[in-house]
Amino acid sequence: MYYPEELIEEVRQKSDIVDVISSYVSLQKKGNNYMCCCPFHGEKTPSFSVNRTRQIYKCFGCGEGGNAVTFVMKYENCTFPEAVKILADRAGVELPQPEYSEEAKRRESRRQRLFEVNKEAAKFYYIMLRSERGNKAKEYLDKRQLSGETCKNFGLGYAPIRGEELLTYLRQKGFTDDLIRDVGLAKIDERRGTMTQFWNRVMFPIQDISHRVIGFGGRIMSTEDSGPKYLNSPETEIFDKSRNLYGMNYARTARTGNMILCEGYMDVISMHQAGFTQAVASLGTAFTPGQAGLIKKYTREVLLAYDSDGAGVKAALRAIRILRDAGMSGRIINMSPYKDPDEFIKNLGQAAFQERMNNAENAFLFEVRMLEREFDLNDPEGKTNFHSQIARKLCEFSEDVERENYLEAVAQKYHIGFDNLRKLVVNMAAKTGGYAAQTAERPKSGIQSKNRNTPEENAKRSQRLLLTWLTDYPQLYVKIKGYLSAEDFTVELYSRVAKRMFEDIEKNTLNPASIINMFEEEKDQSEAASLFTTNLPELESEQEKEKAFHDILVSVKKNSYEYYAARSGVDLSALSKVIEGKKALEELSKTHISLN
Residues 114 and 233 in one domain: yes
* pLDDT recorded at residue 540: 66
Domain shared by 223 and 332, yes or no: no
Instruction: Residue 249: give its domain's CATH number.
Output: 3.40.1360.10
| More confident site: 429 or 261 | 261
The enclosing domain of 546 has a CATH number of 1.10.860
pLDDT of residue 188: 85
pLDDT value for 530: 80
Closest CA relative to residue 69, chosen from 132, 135, 5: 5
pLDDT recorded at residue 38: 86
Q: 503 in a domain, yes or no? A: yes
Least confident piece of the model among 314-328, 488-502, 564-578: 564-578
How confident is the model over 439-448, as a mean pLDDT? 49
**What pLDDT sits at residue 441?**
38
Given a cut of 90, is residue 219 above it in pLDDT? yes
Say whether both 471 and 557 belong to one domain: yes
- When mean pLDDT is compared across 63-67, 212-216, 336-340, 461-465, the lowest value belongs to 63-67
- The region of weakest confidence among 98-112, 432-446, 481-495 is 432-446
Mean local confidence (pLDDT), 102-107 = 78
Per the domain annotation, does 444 fall within a domain?
A: no
Query: Average pLDDT for residues 13-22, to the nearest whole number?
Result: 92
Q: Give the mean pLDDT of 3-17.
A: 86
Q: Is residue 446 part of a domain?
A: no
Same domain, 167 and 185: yes
Residue 9 has pLDDT above 90, yes or no: no
Alpha-helical runs (H) found in 253-309: 265-273, 289-296
Tell me what pLDDT residue 113 has: 94
264 part of a folded domain: yes
157/137 Cα distance (integer angstroms): 8
With vertex at residue 331, the alpha carbon angle to CA 325 and CA 332, rounded to the nearest 5 degrees, is: 120
**Is 123 part of a structural domain of the chain?**
yes
Q: Of 351, 368, 385, which residue constitutes the final position of a domain?
A: 368
pLDDT in the model for residue 526: 74
Average pLDDT value for the chain: 87
Which domain does 407 fall in, by range? 374-432
pLDDT band at 453 (very low <50, low <70, confident <90, very high): low
Please tell me whether residues 253 and 355 are part of one structural domain. yes
Q: How many CA atoms lie within 13 A of 438 on its CB side?
A: 4
- Supply the pLDDT for residue 572: 58
Check pLDDT > 80 for residue 538.
no
**3 state SS of 43:** coil
Yes or no: say if 411 and 417 are a contact pair by the CB < 8 Å rule.
yes
Among the listed residues 502, 480, 492, the one whose alpha carbon sits nearest the alpha carbon of residue 553: 480
pLDDT in tens, 143-188: 999 999 999 999 999 999 988 899 999 999 999 999 999 999 998 8
Is the pTM of the predicted complex or chain greater than 0.85?
no
Output 4 or 159, whichever has higher pLDDT: 159
- Residues in contact with 567: Cβ distance below 8 Å, sequence separation at least 6, in sequence order: 574
Q: Is the Cβ–Cβ distance between 231 and 185 less than 8 Å? A: no
What mean pLDDT is predicted for residues 203-222?
93
What pLDDT shows up at residue 192? 75
- The reply to whether 470 and 563 lie within a common domain is yes
Give the end of a domain, one of 91, 116, 139. 91
Verify that 224 and 252 share a domain, yes or no: no
SS3 content of the chain, % helix, strand, coil (to 5): 50, 10, 35
Percent above pLDDT 90 for the chain: 47
Question: Do 198 and 310 have their domain in common?
Answer: no
Per-residue pLDDT at 118:
97
On the question of pLDDT at 442 being above 50, the answer is no
CB-based burial label for 178 (10 Å; 0-12, 13-18, 19+): exposed
Query: For residue 472, is it within any domain?
Result: yes
Q: Is residue 257 part of a domain?
A: yes
What was the pLDDT predicted at 176? 94
Q: How many domains does the chain have?
A: 5
CATH number of the domain encompassing residue 115: 3.90.980.10
Residue 374 has a pLDDT of 92
Beta-bridge mates of residue 330: 302
| Ramachandran angles phi, psi of 257, nearest 5° | 85, -5
Q: Per-residue pLDDT for 324 more than 80?
A: yes
Percent of the chain with pLDDT over 70: 93
Whether residue 14 sits in one domain with residue 121? no
Confidence at residue 435, expressed as pLDDT on a 0 to 100 scale: 62
The whole-angstrom separation of Cα 102 and Cα 446 is 52
Residues 145 and 164 in one domain: yes
Alpha-carbon span 234 to 221, nearest angstrom: 21
Given 368, 391, 411, the domain boundary residue is 368
Q: What is the mean pLDDT of residues 259-277?
A: 95
Instruction: Answer yes or no: is 438 within a domain.
Output: no
pLDDT recorded at residue 350: 94
Residues 107 and 227 in one domain: yes
Residue 99 has pLDDT above 70, yes or no: no
**pLDDT reading at 305 higher than 60:** yes
Q: What value does the CA radius of gyration of the chain take, rounded to a whole number of Å?
A: 29
Task: Tell whether the model's pLDDT for residue 437 goes beyond 70.
Answer: no
Query: Which pLDDT band holds residue 575 (cuts at 50, 70, 90)?
Result: low
Q: Which of 366-370, 505-509, 534-538, 582-586 has the lowest mean pLDDT?
A: 534-538
Do 582 and 462 belong together in one domain?
yes
